[in-house]
Every structure is written in structure tokens, then in C-alpha cells.
């Protein structure tokens, strides 16, 4: 993984500090051109990985990247699935079973299994999960997508329920069918790490909040540091600035000295902030592109 | 220490998330219950927790300390009654009961049995709204006269298939689902209103229920508030609740993310607030709990409930049945006012100012 990954919250009106700023961003980025302009700034600054939700609008970005292979030769996506709103809306409209049936191929055995007349066999549950994953991956066909994440709300919902077998289904399917590395976003990293290990998933890639002030590091600051020091996790740090509470230089410097943190993911809309963060990561973390970089 | 045995009942959108948080709680031994064969079956095969299909049988057979009720609203009253009769502590999703007389009866029953009884009005656990409450009580903006309570979001954006959420008799609709939240915050700040006028329950896309709500609420010894709520607003990514207050010493605004205060003069004893603007963010006002799923407030309310049961407290720390009954009663006043067009409740005449007769030039 690259040391620095570019996130997408800023493009979709998600801001943890202010609804006003979130709306201003939603206005600014309602056209794909505006998103592409910022991605171009990041790419030209040497940030090659875009970690993004499987939002409908990302399909447009993927199309543009595919359309210009010369320009975007090194551009890679780290998809984060599922795009939860799509499912939430379908569940509101069709109920839980009806929503699932909506997403299955209409002629297949799985749609038949979901008619509700009999209980689902375990292999049918697995099959439904694989179809859903493939559907989310469709927009990335023909692009580089070497790491695939499960979104935190979904990861943590399954984790809390103890439905950890789903992680194993995801893990196997992403490796076997998509030739990519499975990965997990969570707000509860120490708890998730234990659960993944119990499913036989070793040294997982886990993206979670990691910052100097312990902001939204559920399970406790010390438990996070223990997990990182143990070498059991390949960590991607998000919220390193703790929504602006920590000065950039101090935040990156602190992260760079932690064992186990392979990458930082950050979101920004201005060229100044993008180049500033890239420069700090180069300064403290050796910068550069670690894998797949011919230079 | 013995774990608290909790059943989460109703595994819909809210129920699944409650179940996930409760099941992960270190002090809880959880079971689940859902009437749907599909849900009970898929979960039953894939998780270690026991999943029941029949609520009454579960109450009869499981030695439960507490239940979390997240079924359609119409079922709250009978299910809470059954749980209290079994001696269980109860956390019930909002709105509490569709008939506020049920809410009153259950408040008395829970008190009589000495059970912890809480309702899921999670906005009281959002740091920015808790800060607003603290500032109101500290008299930060003086005498409050002017209140605007709003909620907007994208729930019903076109005519669609009916579910319980779009059926008024089941407790669906914008009033029960959305407006309940800002109303509950107004009840928290100012108590139950003395009079409700000017209510409108409007339909935009739904046939069976309301998609938008307006109302004017009056407190005899407090402000007048206007409520503006709409769940057919696609411009909001998700539900957004906001309260604005104007008083003799300034203005307060809060939403899920931040609390903004404008003070004309600093108030003695209120540290950190000078004259002019001060902004506090929920992120700095909130502490982590054992588990994070979708916002600290959801974890915090369940943690308080479990803690109160575990520690043998006499009641809920926040959102007890009595406070949720106030909100049910307020919604009943709005419905009656919208249906009859007549003011509901008594407003003490606010010292009427007789119109002065003036000439064109004189005073």
C-alpha cells in the first residue's frame, strides 16, 4: 500500500464538524468535473490511490480514469463497500427479504431461494453475499483495485452481532474472485482484530481512527497502541487530524513513529491542504510510492 | 459480577443496530427476538446468540433482566406492559406509545415496580444539544422568547409501497418518526407546552400519513416555538435536526455537529463563553463508550440503560417514561389541533396590549 491514500468524504457532503460546511462541499462537488479536478491535483502531487465508497457517482470517476489510460497510468482505487444508502432505501421500500430479492439475478436459484417459502441454507447465504459483492465491484472492472474494504457501519454491525462468518466469506471471495486484498474499516479496531483472528484471518488490513488525542478510538487508546505494537495488524490510519483538533505537522509526526501503521488516508478539497499533507508524509514517513512504483 | 441478561425485540433497522451494540456490551448477556422467519433463521444459523421468534414464549422461558423494544410503534404499549408484568427493566424505541394515556399508565406501572424505564430519544445524548440545555439552564441568553425547531430528511421521496412506517395507525408518518425528535428536545428544554395552535399535518407523497408538519407551541411561562419538519426533502443526505433560540441576551443554535452561541454580554459562572460567538463541537463534547456503531449518542443511551440496570438504580438517567409521555402528549395535541382547527390547551392571556388609538401625527 502507498503511504498516503486519498479519501472521498469531502466529495459527498460528509463533514464531522459542520452541517454548513458539508452543504457547501455538496454544492461544490455536485458535478463530476469538480471532483476530477481535485483528484487530478492529488494525483499530480504523487497520491495515486483513491479510497472511495461504491457510490453511484464513483462509477463516473472510474469511467473517466479508464478512458484516459495514458493520463491515469498509476491511478488505483481502493473500493469501500457497500454503499449503504442504496440498501437502506431498498429495505424501506421492499422489506428485508424483498430488498435482497431485488438485487439477485431474476432467473437464478438465489432469487428462488428468497421467495420466503423455506429457510435459507448456509450455502445460499454465502451465495447471496457473493452476488452482492460482485455487484458492488462492477464499476471497477478494467481499473486497478488491489485492496477492497468493507465500510465501517457494516463491519461494526456484523462485529457487534457476532456475525463474523461474513468476514470470512468476504475475505475468501475478494481474494479468489477479484484477486485483491480484503480489508476492513472499523471504529472498534481492537475488537475487530480479535474477531478476524478467530475466523482465521491473519494480519488483516484494518482502517480505523488513529490519532494522538484518541478521538473516536473505541475500545480505548491503549488497546489500539497494543494492537499496533503486536504486529498483528496492517493499519491504515484515518482521522489523523482528529477533525482538525491536532496541527498537521504534529499529527503526522506522531503517526510516523507508530509501529504497524502502513498508510494514512485523508480527505481534502484544496490544493494547499493536499500538497501540505503529502509533503508532511514525505518528510516523516519516507513518502514515495511503496509498491508497484517503477520510479 | 453477573452479566445483565437483555433481549432485543424487533430486528428492523433500529433493532439490528441496538442488537449489535447490546450484544457487544461487556456487561450484557444478550438474546434476540424477531417474528420474521427469515431474520430469526439467518441470524440463528450464523451467530452464537439465541434468536427467538415468539415474544410471549421468550418472556415465559428466558430469565431476563431487561428488554429493548424496537418493534413497530403500535406494538410498544402491549409489549412494554408484558415486560413490566414479568418484572423486566425496559428500553423502548421512540415514539413511546401512540395513545399517551398508555404512556401515562406505563409510567406509573414502571414506577410501581421500581424498574428502569427508558425511551430511545437519542438526541438528548448528542453533545451539542446537551450543551444547549446546559446553556439554557445557566441563563446564557437571558429570557428566551423565540424558538424554531426543525427536522428535514429524505425518507419518502415518491409514492411508494406501504409499510408500517407509512401507516398512521401503526405509528408511522413524519410526526411520529421525525417531528418527535425536535419536540422531545423542546420538552427537555421547556417542559410540555400549554397550548398548541396552527398545526398542519400535510401529505406530499404518502397516502396513509403525513410527510410534513408545522405547528406553533406556547409556554405560559416561556417562549413560543415554531416547528417545521419535512421528511420528503432530498437535499439532506440524512435526517438533520436543528434548534434555534433567541433570548434577551443573545442566540443559540444547535444541530448534531455543533452548538453555536452568541452572547450579548458574558454570563457570570459560565466559563469559556465570552461576549460574541462561541462554537463547541459535538466531537469535543463527547466521550467514547465501549463500542461505536453509528454515533456516540446511540452507544451512550444504551450504556446508560445497561449501567442503571446493572447498578440497581431506581430509574433511567435520561429519557425516562415520564419525559417520553410529555412528547406523546405534545404530539396528541398537534394531531387534535390539526384535525379540529381549534387551539388545544389553555394559553394564559399574555397581558394583552390594547391597541392605542393614534391620530396621523400625534402620539
Mean pLDDT (whole number) for B127-147: 97
- State how far Cα A145 lies from the chain centre: 11
Residue A272's Cβ-count burial label (10 Å; 0-12, 13-18, 19+) is exposed
Report the DSSP beta bridge partners of residue A209.
Answer: A238
The pLDDT, as a whole number, for residue B41 is 86
The pLDDT, as a whole number, for residue B180 is 98
Q: What is the 3-state secondary structure (H, E, C) of B107-168?
A: HHHHHHHCCCEEECCHHHHCHHHHHHHHHHHCCCCCCEEEEEEEEECECCCCCCCCCHHHCH
The CATH code belonging to domain B123-290+320-345 is: 3.30.360.10
The CATH code belonging to domain B4-122+305-311 is: 3.40.50.720
Q: Does A17 touch chain B (CB under 8 A)?
A: yes
Mean pLDDT (whole number) for B20-34: 97
Distance CA A233, CA A44 (A): 30
- Give residue B358's pLDDT band: very low, low, confident or very high (50, 70, 90): low
Task: Report the SS3 class of residue B332.
Answer: helix
Task: Report the SS3 class of residue B232.
Answer: strand
A197-219 tens-digit pLDDT: 999 999 999 999 999 999 999 99
pLDDT surpasses 90 at B37: no
**Do A17 and B288 make contact, defined as CB atoms within 8 angstroms?**
no
Name residues whose C-beta falls within 8 Å of residue A41's C-beta, 6 or more positions apart in sequence.
A271, A274, A275
The pLDDT, as a whole number, for residue A107 is 67
Question: How far lies A42's CA from each of A268, A293, B223, B313, in Å?
Answer: 9, 16, 51, 54
Q: Which phi and psi angles does B33 have, rounded to 5°? A: -150, 125
Buried b (16+ CB within 10 A) or exposed e, A153-185: bbbbbbbbbbbbbbbbbbbebbeeebebbbbbb
pLDDT surpasses 90 at B60: yes
pLDDT surpasses 50 at B320: yes
pLDDT surpasses 90 at B163: no
More confident site: A46 or A17: A46
Q: Which phi and psi angles does B3 have, rounded to 5°? A: -75, 155
More confident site: B54 or B40: B54
**Which chain B residues touch A26 with a CB distance below 8 Å?**
237
What sign does the dihedral B124-B129-B131-B132 (CA atoms) show?
A: negative
Mean pLDDT (whole number) for A60-73: 96
- Give residue B350's pLDDT band: very low, low, confident or very high (50, 70, 90): low
Q: What is the CA radius of gyration of chain B?
A: 22
More confident site: A178 or B166: A178
Instruction: Sort residue B351 into left (φ over 0), alpha (ψ -120 to 50) or beta.
Output: left
**Which chain B residues touch A192 with a CB distance below 8 Å?**
none
The pLDDT, as a whole number, for residue B363 is 47
Sheet holding B117-119, edge to edge: B51-52, B28-33, B4-9, B66-69, B89-92, B117-119
The pLDDT, as a whole number, for residue B42 is 87
Question: How far lies A125's CA from each of A87, A145, A155, B239, in Å?
Answer: 17, 25, 17, 32
Q: Where are the domains of chain B?
A: 4-122+305-311, 123-290+320-345
Judge if the upstream peptide bond of residue A82 is cis by omega within 30 degrees of 0.
yes
Distance CA A137, CA A250 (A): 37
The pLDDT, as a whole number, for residue A290 is 47
What sign does the dihedral B128-B130-B134-B137 (CA atoms) show?
A: positive
- Give residue B359's pLDDT band: very low, low, confident or very high (50, 70, 90): low
ipTM: 0.92
Q: How many CB atoms lie within 10 A of CB A273?
A: 16
Name residues whose C-beta falls within 8 Å of residue B77's C-beta, 6 or more positions apart in sequence.
B97, B98, B99, B102, B103, B106
pLDDT surpasses 60 at B351: no
The pLDDT, as a whole number, for residue B360 is 61
pLDDT surpasses 50 at A292: no
A24-44 tens-digit pLDDT: 999 999 999 999 999 999 999
Report the DSSP beta bridge partners of residue B5.
Answer: B29
pLDDT surpasses 90 at B5: yes
Mean pLDDT (whole number) for A6-20: 88
**Do A116 and B37 make contact, defined as CB atoms within 8 angstroms?**
yes
pLDDT surpasses 90 at A6: yes
Q: Which phi and psi angles does A88 have, rounded to 5°? A: -60, -45
Max avg pLDDT among B27-41, B214-228, B278-292 = B214-228
Task: Report the SS3 class of residue A50.
Answer: strand
**A216: nearest CB among B17, B161, B292:** B292
B199-237 tens-digit pLDDT: 999 999 998 899 999 999 999 999 999 999 999 999 998
Q: Residue written as cell 402620539?
A: B363
The pLDDT, as a whole number, for residue A117 is 59
- State how far Cα A118 lies from the chain centre: 35
Query: Among candidates A257, A207, A216, which has minimal Cα distance to A237?
Result: A207
Enumerate the H helices of chain A as residue ranges.
Answer: 19-28, 32-44, 56-67, 84-103, 109-113, 122-137, 152-161, 165-178, 189-198, 221-230, 248-256, 271-285
Query: Among candidates B154, B256, B48, which has minimal Cα distance to A17?
Result: B256
Query: Among candidates A98, A91, A208, which has minimal Cα distance to A159?
Result: A208
The pLDDT, as a whole number, for residue B353 is 55
A130-157 tens-digit pLDDT: 999 999 999 999 999 999 999 999 999 9
Instruction: Say if residues B245 and B136 touch (Cβ distance below 8 Å).
Output: yes
pLDDT surpasses 90 at A101: no
- Give residue A291's pLDDT band: very low, low, confident or very high (50, 70, 90): very low
pLDDT over 70 for what percent of chain A? 95
**B38: nearest CB among A96, A158, A242:** A96
**Do B24 and A12 make contact, defined as CB atoms within 8 angstroms?**
no
Enumerate the H helices of chain B as residue ranges.
Answer: 13-24, 37-46, 55-61, 76-85, 100-113, 127-137, 174, 180-190, 282-285, 296-310, 321-340
A106-130 tens-digit pLDDT: 767 777 777 665 667 777 888 889 9
**Which chain A residues touch B237 with a CB distance below 8 Å?**
12-14, 22, 26
- Give residue A294's pLDDT band: very low, low, confident or very high (50, 70, 90): very low
Q: How far is B342 from chain A (nearest CA, A)?
A: 35
Distance CA B141, CA B216 (A): 22
Q: Which of A19, A23, A160 to substitute to test the interface with B, most B CBs within 10 Å?
A: A160
Q: Residue written as cell 444547535?
A: B254
pLDDT surpasses 80 at B328: yes
Buried b (16+ CB within 10 A) or exposed e, B134-154: ebbeebbbeebeebebbbbbb
Minimum mean pLDDT range among A26-30, A282-286, B164-168:
B164-168
**Do B20 and A14 make contact, defined as CB atoms within 8 angstroms?**
no
**A153: nearest CB among B43, B294, B299:** B294
Query: Among candidates A275, A294, A291, which has minimal Cα distance to A43?
Result: A275
Name the residue in chain B with its Cα closest to that of A95: B163
Amino acid at each position: 500500500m502507498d503511504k498516503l491514500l486519498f479519501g472521498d468524504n469531502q466529495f459527498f457532503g460528509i463533514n464531522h464538524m459542520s452541517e454548513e460546511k458539508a452543504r457547501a462541499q455538496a454544492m461544490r462537488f455536485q458535478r463530476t468535473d469538480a471532483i476530477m479536478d481535485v483528484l487530478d491535483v492529488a494525483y499530480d502531487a504523487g497520491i495515486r490511490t483513491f479510497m472511495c465508497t461504491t457510490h453511484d457517482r464513483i462509477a463516473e470517476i472510474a469511467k473517466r480514469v479508464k478512458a484516459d489510460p495514458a493520463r491515469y497510468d498509476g491511478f488505483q482505487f481502493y473500493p469501500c463497500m457497500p454503499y449503504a444508502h442504496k440498501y437502506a432505501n431498498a429495505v424501506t421500500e421492499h422489506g428485508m427479504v424483498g430488498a435482497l430479492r431485488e438485487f439477485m439475478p431474476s432467473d437464478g436459484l438465489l432469487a428462488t431461494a428468497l421467495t420466503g417459502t423455506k429457510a435459507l441454507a448456509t450455502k445460499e447465504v454465502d451465495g447471496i453475499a457473493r452476488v452482492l459483492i460482485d455487484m458492488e465491484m462492477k464499476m471497477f472492472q478494467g481499473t486497478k483495485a488491489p485492496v477492497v474494504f468493507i465500510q465501517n457501519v457494516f463491519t461494526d454491525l456484523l462485529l457487534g452481532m457476532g456475525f463474523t462468518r461474513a468476514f470470512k466469506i468476504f475475505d475468501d471471495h475478494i481474494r479468489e474472485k477479484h484477486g485483491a486484498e480484503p480489508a476492513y474499516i472499523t471504529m472498534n479496531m481492537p475488537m475487530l482484530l480479535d474477531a478476524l483472528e478467530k475466523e482465521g484471518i491473519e494480519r488483516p488490513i484494518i482502517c480505523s481512527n488513529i490519532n494522538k488525542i484518541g478521538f473516536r478510538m473505541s475500545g480505548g487508546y491503549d488497546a489500539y497502541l497494543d494492537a499496533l505494537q503486536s504486529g498483528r495488524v496492517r493499519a491504515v490510519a484515518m482521522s489523523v487530524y482528529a477533525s482538525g483538533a491536532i496541527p498537521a505537522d504534529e499529527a503526522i509526526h506522531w503517526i510516523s513513529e507508530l509501529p504497524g501503521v502502513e498508510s494514512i488516508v485523508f480527505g481534502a478539497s484544496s490544493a494547499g491542504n493536499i500538497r501540505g499533507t503529502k509533503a508532511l508524509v514525505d518528510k516523516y514517513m519516507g513518502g514515495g510510492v511503496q509498491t508497484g512504483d517503477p520510479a | 459480577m453477573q452479566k445483565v441478561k437483555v433481549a432485543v425485540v424487533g430486528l428492523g433497522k433500529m433493532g439490528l443496530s441496538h442488537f449489535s451494540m447490546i450484544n457487544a456490551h461487556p456487561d450484557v448477556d444478550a438474546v434476540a427476538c424477531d417474528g420474521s422467519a427469515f431474520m430469526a433463521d439467518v441470524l440463528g444459523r450464523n451467530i452464537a446468540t439465541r434468536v427467538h421468534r415468539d415474544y410471549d414464549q421468550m418472556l415465559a422461558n428466558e430469565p431476563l433482566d431487561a428488554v429493548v423494544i424496537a418493534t413497530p410503534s403500535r406494538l410498544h404499549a402491549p409489549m412494554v406492559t408484558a415486560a413490566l408484568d414479568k418484572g423486566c427493566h425496559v428500553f423502548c424505541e421512540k415514539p413511546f406509545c401512540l395513545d399517551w394515556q398508555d404512556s401515562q399508565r406505563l409510567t406509573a406501572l414502571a414506577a410501581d415496580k421500581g424498574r428502569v424505564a427508558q425511551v430511545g430519544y437519542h438526541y438528548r445524548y448528542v453533545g451539542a444539544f446537551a450543551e444547549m440545555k446546559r446553556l439554557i439552564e445557566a441563563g446564557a441568553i437571558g429570557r428566551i422568547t423565540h424558538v424554531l425547531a426543525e427536522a428535514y430528511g429524505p425518507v419518502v421521496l415518491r409514492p411508494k409501497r406501504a409499510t408500517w412506517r407509512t401507516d398512521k395507525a401503526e405509528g408511522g408518518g413524519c410526526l411520529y418518526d421525525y417531528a418527535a425528535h425536535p419536540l422531545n428536545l423542546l420538552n427537555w428544554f421547556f417542559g410540555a407546552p400549554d397550548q398548541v395552535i396552527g398545526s398542519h399535518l400535510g401529505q406530499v407523497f404518502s397516502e396513509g400519513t403525513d410527510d410534513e408538519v408545522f405547528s406553533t407551541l406556547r409556554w405560559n411561562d416561556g417562549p413560543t416555538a415554531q416547528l417545521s419538519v419535512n421528511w420528503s426533502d432530498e437535499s439532506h443526505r440524512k435526517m438533520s435536526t436543528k434548534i434555534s433560540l433567541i433570548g434577551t441576551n443573545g442566540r443559540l443554535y444547535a444541530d448534531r455537529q455543533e452548538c453555536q452561541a452568541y452572547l450579548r454580554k458574558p454570563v457570570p459562572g459560565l466559563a469559556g463563553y465570552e461576549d460574541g460567538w462561541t462554537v463547541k463541537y459535538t466531537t469535543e463534547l463527547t466521550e467514547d463508550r465501549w463500542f461505536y456503531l453509528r454515533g456516540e449518542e446511540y452507544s451512550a443511551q444504551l450504556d446508560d440503560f445497561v449501567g442503571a440496570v446493572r447498578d440497581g438504580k431506581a430509574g433511567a438517567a435520561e429519557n425516562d417514561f415520564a419525559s417520553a409521555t410529555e412528547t406523546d402528549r405534545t404530539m396528541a395535541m398537534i394531531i387534535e389541533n390539526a384535525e379540529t382547527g381549534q387551539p388545544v390547551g389553555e394559553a394564559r392571556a399574555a397581558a394583552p396590549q390594547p391597541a392605542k388609538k393614534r391620530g396621523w401625527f400625534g402620539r
